[in-house]
Structure 1
Amino acid sequence: MYLEHVNLVANNIESMLKFYQAVFPNWSIRSEGEGTWYGKPRRWVHFGDDTHYIAISDHGEGENRNLSGHQVGFAHFAYVTNNLDEVIIRLNKAGFVISKDGSDNPFRKNVYFVDPAGFEVEFVEYLSDIPSERNNDL
């Protein structure tokens, strides 16, 4: 079993694509369309590869949850990379900055960015293949 996709509701697909294209330069729009969601028109795209994708719809209203607050809701999701520095460089070149540094850990490096819709995304590079080291909470 594996996670195939996440579905993010935003108010601007193009700004979201700018962020995720910087993260995943080899991904593309797999499919797209238009329709309605409970009576409201929306456009949607599936951005990914043959196995994984992010579904993005443009019918969002209002602000995302306060990431420093305690509201119930989505906190963040994370992607593992083999080269965290390259991801940071690509996002910086696209105009995005790190929102929060990760923990100081000898077995992993991680940072957090906030996408244009306000979703926090963690990027992590593991420096060990030993599960007990990768998953420690030093």
Structure 2
Amino acid sequence: MYLEHVNLVANDINSMLKFYQAAFPYWFIRSEGTGTWYGKPRRWVHFGDATQYIAISDHGEGENRDLSGHQVGFAHFAYVTNNLDTTVQRLQKADFKVAKKGSENPFRKNVYFIDPAGFEIEFVEYLSDIPSERNNNL
């Protein structure tokens, strides 16, 4: 079993694609279309590769939850990368800034970005193949 996709509601698909294309330069728009969601028109895209993707639709209203608050809701999702520095460089070149750095850990490096819709995404590079070390919160 694996996670196939995450479905994000935004208000601007193009700005979201700019962020995710910088993070995942080998991904592509797998499919896209238009429709309605509970009576409201929307455009949607599935951006990913052959096995996983991010579904993005543009019918969002208002702001995302306050990530420093304690409201119930989505906190963040994470992707593992083989080269965190290169991932960060691509996102910075596309004008996105690191929102916060992860904690110091000898077995992993991680950083957090906020995408244009206000979702927090963690990128992590593991420096150990041993699960107990990778998951250790020193």
What pairs up with 1:15-94 in 2 under 5 angstroms?
Answer: 15-94=15-94
Work out the CA distance in 2 between the residues paired with 1:137 and 1:46.
Answer: 34
Identity %: 83
Q: Could you tell me which residue of structure 2 aligns to residue 124 of structure 1? A: 124
CA distance, structure 1, for counterparts of residue 134 and residue 75 of structure 2: 21
Q: State the Cα distance separating 1:62 from its structure 2 match.
A: 0.2
* Residue in structure 2 matched with residue 95 of structure 1 by the alignment: 95
Query: Structure 2 CA distance, aligned partners of 1:116 and 1:87?
Result: 17
SS in 1 for 2:78: strand
For structure 1, the 5+ residue unaligned runs are none
Q: Aligned runs of 1:2-13 on 2, under 5 Å?
A: 2-13=2-13
SS at match of 2:43: strand
Aligned partners of 1:77, 1:64: CA distance in 2, in Å? 14
- Give me the whole-angstrom Cα distance separating, in 1, the residues matched to 2:8 and 2:107: 30
Which letter maps to 1:3? L
- One-letter amino acid of the counterpart of residue 92, structure 2: N
How many angstroms does 1:75 deviate by? Answer: 0.1
TM-score (norm 2): 1.00
When normalised by structure 1's length, the TM-score is 1.00
Question: How far is 1:115 from its partner?
Answer: 0.1
Query: Aligned partners of 1:31 and 1:137: how far apart in 2?
Result: 39
Corresponding residue of 2:134:
134
The alignment covers a number of residue pairs equal to 138
Amino acid at match of 2:81: T
**Structure 2 segments unaligned to the other structure (5+ residues):** none
Where has structure 1 moved over 3 Å in runs of 4 or more? none
Question: Partner letter of residue 132 of structure 1?
Answer: S
How far does residue 131 in structure 1 lie from its aligned partner after superposition?
A: 0.5
Shift of 1:12: 0.1
Counterpart-to-counterpart distance in 2, 1:117 and 1:96: 13
